[in-house]
Amino acid sequence: MEILSIISVLSSFLTGLYILVVVAFIKGWHKLSYFKLQKQNLATKVSVLVAARNEAGNIAKTIEDLLAQTYDKQLTELIFVDDHSTDRTAEIIGTYAERGVKLIRLNEGQTLNSYKKKAIQTAIAQSSGSLIVTTDADCRMGPDWLKTIVGFYEEKNYKMISSPVAYFEEKSFFERAQTLEFLYLIGLGASTIGNKKPSTCNGANLAYEKDAFYEVGGFKGIDDLASGDDELLLHKMAAKFDGNIGFLKNEAAVVYTHPKATLKEFIQQRKRWASKSTRYKNKSIIVLGVCVWLFNLSILVNITGGIFNIFYLKLALVQLLLKMTVEYLFLYDVTGFAKRRKLLVLLPVLNLLHILYIVYIGIAGNSGKYNWKDRMVK
């Protein structure tokens, strides 16, 4: 009986903590005002940087979208860095030279663990813009994407701006489920910025002042980790420029990319993302992450224990119901912004799968190596 009491108290504590965390996300999301572009005579010189490796199948569409931007062409610099591609990526980028697209080829003699950071750092060193904007080589964006970012920057004067990323063109249930889960992550990152406690962002849609990048030492101190060109840089910026990080809440600023087609690709991606957590300097984020992991683990343990004692199963069902309810309230707002509210029908199934995924990734993402762009990194 005493064991049941201990498990009940611990599970209740973790569940209550998780509810408070998601409620904080909801509040943070609502603190973010929807941005309306008013100013038209924008004057910031922008360098858009794209690190590319083996993206021959996607790169042309990304380049065309960037060339179609409505922002002043005289104030726009497009720099692509080919990261030792073994396909036609560099060749395709080169065909756009006459339209102002610059190509830099990485030529690293020694093996690195973070080629992407090296690519971005190299591009920044050769850029002429005062505002750096990064995206990925497989992303799509609307024609007002860059203008909206610059308008937000000139109005708010933030040192770093995180903007929304979303999946599109899903072809299966698995990919649609990823879209809903990814919207949760994007909403989470936005809400923490709304609460003035930035925790995460996505390098597929990130902007920051070049001077600020150098003021925080660039990627120094995190350049040995394969991932983290976005999130770990965000933490450095937030530590240096307290309250000077913004999230751009406007659908014109959304960048679109594709979910992973297979479970193997998905797991490799999330192991890469999770690997960054070992380098967080803000210990409160680590503690919070561990508590969320323990909450999901407690549900899994209680479901397993339900095989032997109905008490555990009832406890797990209560945890699941509360988890699903508070996540629905949060995702209702986020999916509404993304105009993907129909995805909420997947939430019950996604909840069960998400628990298994969180528990596994929490372990796998912080141990061993993973595959990224046909390279084994750690």
The tens digit of pLDDT for each residue in 186-196 reads 999 999 999 99
* Residues contacting residue 283 through CB under 8 Å, at least 6 positions apart: none
- The answer to whether residue 182 scores a pLDDT higher than 80 is yes
Give the model's pLDDT for residue 40.
Answer: 85
Are 266 and 179 in contact, with CB atoms under 8 Å apart? no
Give the model's pLDDT for residue 74.
Answer: 97
The tens digit of pLDDT for each residue in 142-152 reads 999 999 999 99
- The answer to whether residue 370 scores a pLDDT higher than 70 is no
Q: Per the confidence metrics, is the pTM higher than 0.85?
A: yes
- The answer to whether residue 16 scores a pLDDT higher than 80 is yes
Give the model's pLDDT for residue 367.
Answer: 64
Q: Determine which of 1-15, 96-110, 202-216, 299-313 has the lowest per-residue pLDDT on average.
A: 1-15
Q: Sheet holding 140-141: strands in order across?
A: 140-141, 255-257, 165-167
What DSSP character marks residue 230? T
Overall average pLDDT of the 35-48 stretch: 94
Give the model's pLDDT for residue 112.
Answer: 63
How many C-beta atoms surround the C-beta of residue 251 within 10 A? 14
Give the model's pLDDT for residue 376.
Answer: 54
Q: Report the SS3 class of residue 92.
A: helix
pLDDT band at residue 285 under the 50/70/90 scheme? confident
Give the model's pLDDT for residue 109.
Answer: 64
| 358 compared with 343, residue with greater pLDDT | 343
Q: How far apart are CA 157 and CA 19, in angstroms?
A: 34
- The answer to whether residue 268 scores a pLDDT higher than 90 is no
Give the model's pLDDT for residue 366.
Answer: 67
- What tokens were used for 288? 């919070």
- The mean pLDDT value of the chain amounts to 91
Q: Report the SS3 class of residue 321.
A: helix
- The answer to whether residue 59 scores a pLDDT higher than 60 is yes
pLDDT band at residue 159 under the 50/70/90 scheme? very high
Q: How far apart are CA 371 and CA 43, in angstroms?
A: 41
Give the model's pLDDT for residue 136.
Answer: 96
Report how far apart, in Å, the C-alpha atoms of 92 and of each of 97, 105, 119, 266 are: 10, 13, 18, 27
- The answer to whether residue 374 scores a pLDDT higher than 70 is no
- The answer to whether residue 208 scores a pLDDT higher than 60 is yes
Are 344 and 329 in contact, with CB atoms under 8 Å apart? no
Q: How far apart are CA 196 and CA 190, in angstroms?
A: 10
Vertex 105 angle, CA 103 and 108, to 5°: 160
- The answer to whether residue 372 scores a pLDDT higher than 80 is no
| 349 compared with 110, residue with greater pLDDT | 349
Give the model's pLDDT for residue 111.
Answer: 61
pLDDT band at residue 368 under the 50/70/90 scheme? low
pLDDT band at residue 3 under the 50/70/90 scheme? low
Overall average pLDDT of the 17-31 stretch: 96
